[in-house]
Amino acid sequence: MPQTRRTFLLNAAALAAPAQSRPTQFQIGCMTLPYGAFPFARAIQGLAASGNKYVGWGPAHERKPTIEPDAPAAAAKPLAQQTRDLGLTPVLMFAGIYIDHADSIKVHTRRIEQAAAAGIPFLITFGHTATGAYDLWVRNLKTLGPIARANKVTITVKQHGGLSATGAMISKLLADVADDGVKMCYDGGNVLDYESTNPIPDIQACWRDVRLFAIKDHRDTPKDQDCGPGFGEVDHYKLLLPVLTTGLTIPLICENIFEPLVDRPTDPAGIDRLAARAREYMETVVRGLTAHAAPPK
């Protein structure tokens, strides 16, 4: 049968379409970061009480690192057990050092080992905004990728301005690194905040590299301010639409849960309420998108 222009275009579109076939398994949770002024133990207690099942360890509590960067890997095990005893599954932690830092390889390697000891699958990192550091980023991440894979940990680069301001920029970086041990953590709030760029077109250019979302929102009006999901100008329905059927397990972990324009709670019980609201909002988004994507009965 001769191929018409229409069938040619349809076939080309099919070949260009993403290889999506199975629903994405989303893990909705919250970081301990909003509880940074309080002990780690109070943070995970609050997240468990607020109905969360998945947690990301924030970098510090009460101005002390959650885990010291040079602590032996085994130091992460008691924190992991403490977390799981409350019914929470830890899914991420922070490297706490820039990609281009002089001690980057040393500290990232120890953080990978700590994550592996804790059974944490994702390590979040980012970098300095210096434009001359790109080649160093690539070299360091090429070195770290095999170490991460050997420990069954994935390093995820998060938007942080400069060299990593957008998802499209990080996708270029990942293509140059070319290692499955290094992927992307998408932070739509940071894209809107740092670059005044709508994250919805941006994620269309990079979603294939995303393995983790740091969920936060942002408002430019009436005040330039980060905030919890659903309080800002990021459309989370549109943000997650490209990754609905990747077949992957993708955590959606809230980094900022606070209300805009008002003072943050000074007591942890107030943070607990916001953690519950953020979880409920993200569950609503995922429930709606899942229903929308389901085949008709």
What's the CATH number where 194 sits?
A: 3.20.20.150
Is 297 a domain residue?
no
pLDDT for the residue 295: 73
pLDDT for the residue 293: 82
Q: What are the beta bridge partners of residue 29?
A: 54, 253
Residue with tokens 């943000």: 239
User: How many CB atoms lie under 10 A from the CB of residue 137?
Assistant: 22
The one-character DSSP state at 264 is P
Q: Which two tokens mark 76?
A: 């992460």
Q: Which residues contact 20 (CB under 8 A, 6 or more apart)?
A: 244, 245, 246, 247
Is 270 a domain residue?
yes
The whole domain housing 172 covers 21-292
Contact 87, 48 (CB under 8 A): yes
pLDDT for the residue 131: 78
Is 11 a domain residue?
no
pLDDT for the residue 10: 33
pLDDT for the residue 277: 98
- Collapsing DSSP to helix, strand or coil, 76 comes out as helix
pTM score over 0.75:
yes
Contact 145, 155 (CB under 8 A): yes
Strands 217-219, 225-227: pairing is antiparallel
Is 5 a domain residue?
no
pLDDT (tens, 9 = 90+) of the chain, 297 residues, equals 344 443 333 333 333 334 457 999 999 999 999 999 999 999 999 999 999 999 999 999 999 999 999 999 999 999 999 999 999 999 999 999 999 999 999 999 999 999 999 999 999 999 988 878 999 999 999 999 999 999 999 999 999 999 999 999 999 999 999 999 999 999 999 999 999 999 999 999 999 999 999 999 999 999 999 999 999 999 999 999 999 999 999 999 999 999 999 999 999 999 999 999 999 999 999 999 999 887 766
pLDDT for the residue 20: 53
Contact 111, 96 (CB under 8 A): yes
Sequential DSSP letters for 140-170: HHHHHHHHHHHTT-EEEEE--BTTBSSHHHH
Is 88 a domain residue?
yes
Is 246 a domain residue?
yes
- Collapsing DSSP to helix, strand or coil, 49 comes out as helix
- Collapsing DSSP to helix, strand or coil, 217 comes out as strand
Q: How many domains does the chain have?
A: 1
